[in-house]
Each structure stands twice: as structure tokens, then as C-alpha cells.
């Protein structure tokens, strides 16, 4: 009957649409961009937290100096430079052509941040360990074991370089005694995270192989679904044009 023909045609169209939906790739936010935004947010948190730490310590050591005042101009300058780097990374994260370079630019940026805030704090041991430990650990989490290790060495070198520079400015011998314990704690924490990330990288390699295998299987399934969808499209077009099932059988 005419009703049966239309009913069969509706079923075939529904079946065809289901296969077309299966063959379309799923859209999801870029995982790489979210990782970039996370590390950028962590750098902004470091700048704000370290600036507050320096301000609190300075107001406790010199309570006669009011806050805010010109005595804190160096802290404002360091914060402005740091946030300028953060804004630069945010802009880069929206430009696909330069976004891959964020990972590599993060390393020299961390050198600058470590040296800048250690200098602003006049090489305070607490700020030194906070800067080295925070930047090294979060760098490992984003950069991985190899680049994270390079980043850690550079951050430590930047902090030590500032200590030596300030000693030369004050015309006194370099005394690392106040920094030995903080430096050991920072390096111990960084080494632990670095080893953990190295193990994760090894496990990640196996996971990537499994994911590639699953991706190939998924591609084959999508290819088969598209072929079936193409056949159903041709069948639907014939039925829609003639409503004559005998022609289909011919």
C-alpha cells in the first residue's frame, strides 16, 4: 500500500541518518589549549602570591613603612613585568600558528620570573625556595621530564646568579649558608616530581601506542559506516524519486 511504502521510506531515512551521525567526528575543546591555560594561570598565581609574600615580609621587617607607598615600587614593577608575560602567553594561546611555541618560551620566562622576584626580595631565602620550588614543580607538570629538568636547572641558576650579583653589589663575600636548607628542600621536591614525571612519560608511551591502535580501529569503523551511509543514500534517493520498490530490485 501507499502507506506501507512511505513507512518503509521513513525507516530507511532514519537508518541512514544514524549511520551519518556515526561517521561524523566528535568535536571537543583542544586539550593542548587547556593545558596552556592551566600553566599560564599557575604563573599568574605565582606572581600574585610571591608579590604578596614580599609585601608581607617587608611590612613586618619595617612596620614604619606604610603600604602602599613608593617603598614598594620595585614589587609593583616586578608584578607588572610578570603579568605582561602572562598576557603575552594568553594572546599566543589564541593564535594557532604560534601556540606550539608557548612550551619553549615558558622556560626562559621562568628564568626571568625566578631571577626577578629573588632580586626584588633582596635574595630572601623564603622567596628563593618558593620561587625555585613552585616554578620547577609546575614546570615539570607541563614540560615533562626532560624539558622540566632543563627548566629546573635554569631556575636554580637564575636564583643563585641573583644572590651572587647582590653580594657583588654590596661588596661582600657570597654566603650560601642561609640558602642551604631551603635549596635542599626545593631540589628534593623538584627531583621527586621529576622522577615521577619520567615514570609517567614511560607509561604514557604505552598508552599512546594503545590509543593509536584504537584510533586505527575507529577509522576502519568510520570508513565502513560511511560506505553503508553512501549505499543507503543511493537507496533513499531511488525510493524518494519513484516510490517503486520493483525498480530498486531491478
Mind listing the pLDDT tens digit for each residue in 78-99? 999 999 999 999 999 888 888 8
Q: Which domain holds residue 18?
A: 2-26+224-245
Indicate the burial class of 134 (C-beta count within 10 angstroms; 0-12, 13-18, 19 or more). buried
User: Are 158 and 115 in a shared domain?
Assistant: yes
User: Are 20 and 85 in a shared domain?
Assistant: no
User: Are 18 and 86 in a shared domain?
Assistant: no
In a domain, 7, yes or no: yes
Average pLDDT score over residue span 13-18: 48
Task: Kindly report the pTM of this predicted structure.
Answer: 0.65
In tens, the pLDDT along 176-219 reads: 777 777 777 777 777 777 777 777 766 555 556 666 667 777 77
Domain count, the chain: 2
In a domain, 217, yes or no: no
Task: Give residue 67's pLDDT.
Answer: 78
Q: Provide CB contacts within 8 A for 239, sequence distance 6+.
A: 5, 8, 9, 12, 245, 248
pLDDT band at 60 (very low <50, low <70, confident <90, very high): confident
In a domain, 72, yes or no: yes
42: alpha, beta or left? (left if phi > 0; alpha if psi -120 to 50): alpha
In a domain, 14, yes or no: yes
In a domain, 218, yes or no: no
> How many CA atoms does the CB half-sphere of 190 hold within 13 Å?
26
Task: Give residue 117's pLDDT.
Answer: 94
Amino acid at each position: 500500500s501507499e502507506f506501507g511504502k512511505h513507512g518503509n521510506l521513513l525507516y530507511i531515512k532514519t537508518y541512514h541518518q544514524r549511520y551519518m551521525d556515526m561517521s561524523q567526528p566528535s568535536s571537543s575543546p583542544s586539550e593542548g589549549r587547556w593545558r596552556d591555560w592551566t600553566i599560564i594561570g599557575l604563573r599568574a598565581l605565582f606572581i600574585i602570591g610571591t608579590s604578596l609574600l614580599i609585601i608581607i615580609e617587608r611590612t613586618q621587617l619595617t612596620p614604619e613603612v606604610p603600604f602602599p607607598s613608593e617603598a614598594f615600587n620595585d614589587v609593583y614593577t616586578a608584578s607588572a613585568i610578570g603579568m605582561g608575560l602572562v598576557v603575552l602567553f594568553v594572546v599566543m594561546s589564541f593564535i594557532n600558528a604560534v601556540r606550539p611555541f608557548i612550551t619553549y618560551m615558558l622556560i626562559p620566562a621562568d628564568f626571568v620570573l625566578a631571577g626577578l622576584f629573588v632580586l626584588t626580595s633582596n635574595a630572601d631565602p623564603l622567596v628563593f625556595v618558593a620561587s625555585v620550588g613552585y616554578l620547577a614543580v609546575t614546570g615539570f607538570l607541563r614540560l615533562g621530564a626532560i624539558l622540566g629538568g632543563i627548566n629546573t636547572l635554569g631556575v636554580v641558576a637564575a636564583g643563585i646568579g641573583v644572590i651572587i650579583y647582590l653580594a657583588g653589589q654590596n661588596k661582600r663575600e657570597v654566603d650560601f649558608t642561609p640558602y642551604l636548607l631551603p635549596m635542599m628542600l626545593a631540589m628534593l621536591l623538584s627531583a621527586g616530581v621529576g622522577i615521577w614525571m619520567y615514570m609517567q612519560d614511560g607509561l604514557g608511551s604505552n598508552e599512546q601506542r594503545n590509543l593509536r591502535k584504537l584510533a586505527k580501529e575507529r577509522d576502519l569503523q568510520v570508513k565502513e559506516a560511511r560506505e553503508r551511509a553512501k549505499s543507503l543514500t543511493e537507496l533513499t534517493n531511488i525510493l524518494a524519486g519513484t516510490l517503486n520498490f520493483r525498480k530498486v530490485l531491478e
